[in-house]
Structure 1
Amino acid sequence: MVKQGYGTAIRPAAEPSMAGGGDPAPHPTLTGYYQTPQERDGFVQSLFDGAAGSYDRINTAFSFGSGAWYRRQALRRAGLRPGQRLLDVAVGTGLVAREAVRILGRREAVTGLDLSEGMLAEARRRLGIPLIRGRAEALPVADASFDMLSMGYALRHVPDLLLAFQEYRRVLRPGGGLLLLEIARPEGRLAHAAARLYLGRLVPGLSRLLGGERAERMMHYYWDTIEACVPPAAITGALAAAGFEAVGCEVQLGLFRAYSARRPK
């Protein structure tokens, strides 16, 4: 079923199954937004370029101001400490990177990477950290050059989970840590209905008020990728398949997930 308007249910073109060794994409083609997997990168880049200026306001509103605290605590639990170097993939406007700078105490210790020029411009204006334009599945950085790699709420936007995770392992030093923050579709009918009402309806409506039609469309897409995403077990399975160890997933409120793993020493 092709999407006929914002907030209308989407039936994916095909169901991926990482757990069974199938499609490595985090979710199938969402034909209400783009028609082929090859069109996804261009669509996502354009989407985030157009809404970059209002992204922080939207995030603060729908997280009730708790997002910074949650990100900072997740980084600390993952083992980030002064003296280390961190690569923040899909840095966006710098919400995760900002908390990493607070922990590490040096802006130059955090490098941000993103495909969206609009998001990089916002991060450049706000943070002053080293920034690189690139994609998760082809990181333009040297082998074994970071102590930790983070990614905040962007895993659903990469085209190939296994390839991205192999790249993450490559750029981490032996023993280096990985932290992936995500939102997963809640289990249980009532929890799912509540999340769909809030993230699928209320947040996009609020986003339109804060950032216009582009921001609304971005947040509708955000929820639709959550609905269609592979289950958490598929993500942890892909991490193990990419060569990570100590793979784990911490859950809060049945919605927020912090995936952690480590490159073997």
Structure 2
Amino acid sequence: MKPLRPHPPLPAWYGAEARRAPWVRALFDRTARHYDRINGILSLGTGRAYRRRALRWAGIGPGMRVLDVATGTGILAREVMALVGPGGAVVGLDPSAGMLAACRAALGPGMPLLRGEGENLPIADASVDAVTLGYALRHMADLRPLFAEFRRVLRPGGIVLVLEKTRPRHRLWRACAHGWFGLGVPALSRIAALGRGGGEARALMRYYWDTVEHCVPPETILAALAEAGFTAPRLQRELDLFGAYAARAA
């Protein structure tokens, strides 16, 4: 079956599609130490509250065992940990060694971390209550094996939550979003990197917005979740840009 890519190849960044994954991984390795600072600029300080609302909306709660895929520096995992409480557990997974090191530095030894890809999870079948993925769908290779793996590791009735930005539907808001995320954030990210690494931080945010602009529409993501065996996939949008996709394993 033809791969269902989250966006078409962007050869201006990495050349051939076969080079995409190692190129993206290396980019995150090089910018991991700046990522939390950049994310604060990106979200204008509202990211934590939004993530917490989306997690609650999806049904993440006390006592759950959660796998956070593409955990990065643990920005989403921190909110998950607060919601599941001491009776729950969170495991973070990411392909970037640099991001995992930054996550360990930020969160300490309390959260187990695994290095791996979302399309090939090193997790047993039916072993978690929820899978979360925060703003990394666009960096995956193929939505079909990704969602199939999510379904495999979830217990029956388990929850999947995917947070992702989508290209705004309205022309004016699209122009505003492009101005901020496509131009303003990359420029500020270079400053926020505080010297060395500023160019890489700017490149990361420019690439970030390119993937948003070319990402598959929400209907494709919802259909892929249903195809993978999830029931009643739904989408909640905020500001015509931030999307939260949730569904349950059949």
Q: Which band: TM-score by shorter chain?
A: over 0.9
Compared CA separation, residues 77 and 40, structure 1 to 2 (3 A) = same
Matched, 1:154 2:142: no
Q: 1:109 aligns with which of 73, 89, 99?
A: 89
Report Cα offsets for 1:64-112 as digits up to 9, x if no partner.
2111111111111111111110000000000000001111123970000
Number of the residue aligned with 1:17: none
| Cα offset, 1:217, TM superposition | 0.4
Letter in 2 for 1:51: T
Matched, 1:197 2:179: yes
How many pairs align? Answer: 244
Q: How does 1:22-61 map to 2 (within 5 A)?
A: 23-61=3-41
Report Cα offsets for 1:28-53 as digits up to 9, x if no partner.
11011112221111011011011100
Letter in 2 for 1:122: A
Runs (4+) of structure 1 exceeding 2 A deviation are none
Number of the residue aligned with 1:18: none
8 Å contact kept, 1:108–1:130: no
Number of the residue aligned with 1:236: 222
Report Cα offsets for 1:171-227 as digits up to 9, x if no partner.
000000010000000012111111111100000000000121111000000000001
Q: Distance in 2 between matches of 1:240 and 1:63?
A: 30
Q: Distance in 1 between matches of 2:212 and 2:87?
A: 32
Number of the residue aligned with 2:151: 169
Q: Distance in 2 between matches of 1:108 and 1:93?
A: 20
8 Å contact kept, 1:204–1:215: yes
Q: Distance in 1 between matches of 2:150 and 2:81?
A: 20
TM-score (norm 1): 0.90
Number of the residue aligned with 1:125: 105
| Cα offset, 1:240, TM superposition | 0.7
Matched, 1:63 2:43: yes
Q: Distance in 1 between matches of 2:248 and 2:130?
A: 9
Letter in 1 for 2:43: S
Letter in 2 for 1:28: P
Number of the residue aligned with 1:178: 160
Q: Distance in 2 between matches of 1:107 and 1:204?
A: 40
Number of the residue aligned with 1:188: 170
Letter in 2 for 1:201: L
- Greater shift after overlay, 44-53 or 29-38? 29-38
Q: Distance in 1 between matches of 2:206 and 2:66?
A: 30
CA-based RMSD of the aligned residues comes to 1.2
Q: Which runs of 5+ in 1 are unaligned?
A: 1-20
Compared CA separation, residues 108 and 247, structure 1 to 2 (3 A) = closer
Q: Distance in 1 between matches of 2:101 and 2:238?
A: 32
Q: 1:138 aligns with which of 89, 114, 120?
A: 120
Compared CA separation, residues 107 and 192, structure 1 to 2 (3 A) = farther
- Between the aligned residues of both structures, percent identity stands at 52
| Cα offset, 1:62, TM superposition | 2.2
8 Å contact kept, 2:119–2:149: yes
Number of the residue aligned with 1:15: none
Compared CA separation, residues 76 and 108, structure 1 to 2 (3 A) = closer
| Cα offset, 1:120, TM superposition | 0.2
Q: Which runs of 5+ in 2 are unaligned?
A: none
Q: Quick check: which one's helix share is greater?
A: 2
Q: Distance in 1 between matches of 2:125 and 2:17?
A: 28
Number of the residue aligned with 2:53: 73
